[in-house]
Amino acid sequence: MTNNATKPKLFKGSDLNVNPSQICNQALSIVRRLSTKKFSAYLVGGAVRDLILKIEPKDFDIVTDATPTQIKKIFLSSKIIGRRFQIVHVQQDKKIFEVSTFQSKEMIEETWRVGNSKKIVQNTERFFDGKLSIIKEDAFRRDLSINALYYDPLEDKIIDFTDGVADLNKKHLRILGSPGNRFREDPVRILRVIRVSAKLGFTIPPKIEKQIKKKLNLLKDVSKARLFDEILKTFLLGYGLNALKVMKEFNGLNIFIYDNPSRIRSKNTAKLYDILLASTDLRVRQKKYVSPHFLFAVLLWPSLMEEISKVNNKKFTVRKTLEIASRKLFDKESLLVSIPKRYVFKILDMWRMHLQLLMPNPKRVDAMLKHRSFRSAYDFILIREAVGEELQNLGAWWTEIQNYVGSDHENGIHKKNLKKASYLLDTEFYN
């Protein structure tokens, strides 16, 4: 299939079982507002794909023939992001929507040459004199055929230049253009392919799989902050366990977390991650809150244990040892993601509380139960015991304490015969 020879296939959304009620009102409002200003606007990408598959979309991206500057003038609560390839974040009712301008070869070349939106505005008529043509160019610059579908919710019209609808029906993943070249242009596309495969249950074809293995190391050149965002998208949207299984085929978790293949292949670590992501997926399905800091606290736990084992100073308290080890962990160049400071603080807080729960002092039970990190630290005990670690049945112990506090005997908590438990950290567990 070639770009020049392709004519679009047009579908009615209703013919593809698109349910308009699954489109959020804020996204519709943005499309409608652009339309009233005489601009074309479409839902694009994963949202359209999911609507056709009868999956309720979580995010709605919008593409238009309005330039970034024009978009910003229309929506006062908006912000232009990026330099070479600008997008606009439009805020509607505290939600952020990504609104981008159709990408064409001419526009990309002009953007690279000029580097600002003013020149783009001046040349708008030249870029958009043929709107169907510009949509085609934009479509073939996307990653997967099933992500290159354009939906006009006002006219219930779907435009398909890439046979994306046919690929959806065949459960076929197809990269537009050469997989190697597309991954080289933007290595994050590797992660998008993995996520789509995990979410939809589509098998990654051998040709793409081969290029993922060859180009996986390019992810090390992606900014650490961007990789952090990609981890959240991969593991916190309800299909994290499936994504992990796909990543294992490429040993991709090393790229995400920590450059130590031997530990990632550890059976105990593998089970820890499986249980973590299975419980996270369950919380997403139950529409419960999932915490980024809890995810990273557990993912980094094996690495923390390794750093603790290197401290080798028996004079240090447990807290001191933890502080030294965690500082070394977060300072390591082999930590391939940049975790925002607000999450680092919460991770450290959870680890400290977790270690306290492993050595409970009856005189401090009340204070620990009221601590902001108690719940996450307690949940981690349950996960570690589910892995098979011997923690002196502390999960049941803390469960009993919470039940007792919630009973009519709350005021008598210190009268309960609490046996002080102790637990020595087995720093060799993950070796």
pLDDT at 310 over 70: yes
Question: What residues have CB less than 8 Å from 296, skipping those under 6 apart?
Answer: 231, 339, 343, 347
Percent of the chain scoring above 90 in pLDDT: 53
pLDDT tens, residue by residue, 68-97: 999 999 999 999 987 667 889 999 988 999
Report the CATH architecture of 179-290: Orthogonal Bundle (1.10)
| Alpha-carbon gap, residue 143 to 181, rounded angstroms | 11
Averaged confidence pLDDT in the chain: 82
Q: CB of 52 within 8 A of CB of 17?
A: yes
Q: What CATH topology corresponds to 9-170?
A: Beta Polymerase; domain 2 (3.30.460)
Domain ranges for the chain, please list them: 9-170, 179-290, 301-415
pLDDT, mean of residues 21-40: 95
pLDDT, mean of residues 4-25: 88
| Alpha-carbon gap, residue 65 to 86, rounded angstroms | 13
Q: Which of 65, 138, 143, 281 is catalytic?
A: 143
pLDDT at 399 over 50: yes
Q: CB of 235 within 8 A of CB of 277?
A: yes
- Closest of 20, 37, 98 to residue 63, by C-alpha: 98
pLDDT at 336: 72
Q: Which of 59, 152, 274, 349 is catalytic?
A: 59
- Closest of 158, 154, 172, 194 to residue 48, by C-alpha: 158
The helix/strand count (H/E) of the chain reads as: 23, 8
Percent of the chain scoring above 70 in pLDDT: 81
pLDDT, mean of residues 317-323: 89
pLDDT at 125: 36
pLDDT at 404: 72
| Alpha-carbon gap, residue 107 to 247, rounded angstroms | 35
Decide if 152 is catalytic. no
pLDDT tens, residue by residue, 125-135: 333 344 677 88
Residue with token string 């479409």: 42
Please indicate whether the domains covering 9-170 and 301-415 agree at the CATH topology level: no
pLDDT at 225 over 90: no
Q: Side-chain half-sphere of 192: how many Cα atoms within 13 Å?
A: 19
Q: Which of 50, 61, 160, 281 is catalytic?
A: 61
CATH superfamily of 301-415: cca-adding enzyme, domain 2 (1.10.3090.10)
- The pTM for the full model equals 0.79
